Amino acid sequence: MSENNITNILVAGIGGQGVMTAAEILAQTALAQGFDVKKTEVAGMAQRGGVVTSHVRFGEQVLSPAIPPGEADILVGFEPAEALRWVTHLRANGVAMVNQVRQEPPVVSLGLYDYPDDPVEQMRQTGIEVHAFDAGAIARELGNFRLVNTVMLGAISGYLPFPPELLKEAILKRFRARKPKLVEINEQAFEAGCAARASS
């Protein structure tokens, strides 16, 4: 949490990875705990695999939804190169949680942007705390690649100003209402994310 008692979480990735859904769950969970919450997102050709970012801010009083550079507490990178692009938004003792699955955005295939050789290592060289793991492999082992979203939320749950169980319950509540058959597997994905973070 920042000095002004605001928690700043920046979620970055590629369209279709669940960036906006993850941000919405974080915002709803914080709101349920009585925090003032602001959220904003930028989607560039999200439906076509373009870059997507979302800023989630919550605390006693939040005036702006945008996280200024150097003030993010947590960077949730659904894609490693996108995480690297936003690393300057992290504060010095911030945490980056990175899914190592490489998914090149259109700017790379169009030749407008060179994909870095090792984005995770470049992030580590900045001196910040980086946890990187293959959330896609974890999701596939559980039988559904779309579980990456829940895996990543489980991974950051220990860094939030409320118990991880509250975030997990917010996720499971969504599935109980919409897809009850997926409740158990999402609970497993959340716990797998917690374990991946601890061992990364």
DSSP per residue over 4-22, as a string?
A: TSEEEEEEEEETTSSHHHH
> How is domain 6-199 classified at the CATH fold level?
Pyruvate-ferredoxin Oxidoreductase; domain 3 (3.40.920)
Q: What is the CB neighbour count within 10 angstroms for residue 140? A: 13
Q: 5-14, 15-24, 128-137, 154-163 — which is least confidently predicted? A: 15-24
**Percent of the chain topping pLDDT 70:** 94
Map residue 10 onto helix, strand or coil. strand
Over residues 50-76, the mean pLDDT reads: 94
More confident residue, 46 or 32: 32
Residue 45 has pLDDT above 60, yes or no: no
Q: Which of 110, 70, 58, 77 is nearest to 94 (CA)?
A: 70
Q: What mean pLDDT comes out for the span 175-187?
A: 94
pLDDT for res 49: 58
Q: What is the mean pLDDT of residues 130-147?
A: 95
Q: Residue 48 — pLDDT band, cuts 50, 70, 90? A: low
pLDDT at site 155: 98
At residue 112, the pLDDT reads: 74
Q: What is the CA radius of gyration of the chain?
A: 16
pTM, two decimal places: 0.92
| Assigned token pair, 144 | 């559904």
Taking the C-alpha atoms of residue 78 and residue 99, their distance in angstroms, rounded to an integer, is 5
Residue 198 or 49, more confident: 198
The Cα 150–Cα 18 span in angstroms is 9
Stretch 83-96: mean pLDDT? 94
* pLDDT interval class at 38 (50, 70, 90): very high
> Residue 2's pLDDT is what?
56
Residue 65 DSSP SS3: coil
8: left (phi over 0), alpha (psi -120 to 50) or beta: beta
Band (113; pLDDT cuts 50, 70, 90): confident
Question: How confident is the model at residue 46, as a pLDDT?
Answer: 44
Confidence grade of residue 51 (pLDDT, cut at 50, 70, 90): confident
pLDDT confidence of residue 110 = 76
Residue 30 binned pLDDT confidence (cut-offs 50, 70, 90): very high
Give the residues across from 12 on adjacent strands: 53, 77
Q: Which residues contact 63 (CB under 8 A, 6 or more apart)?
A: 38
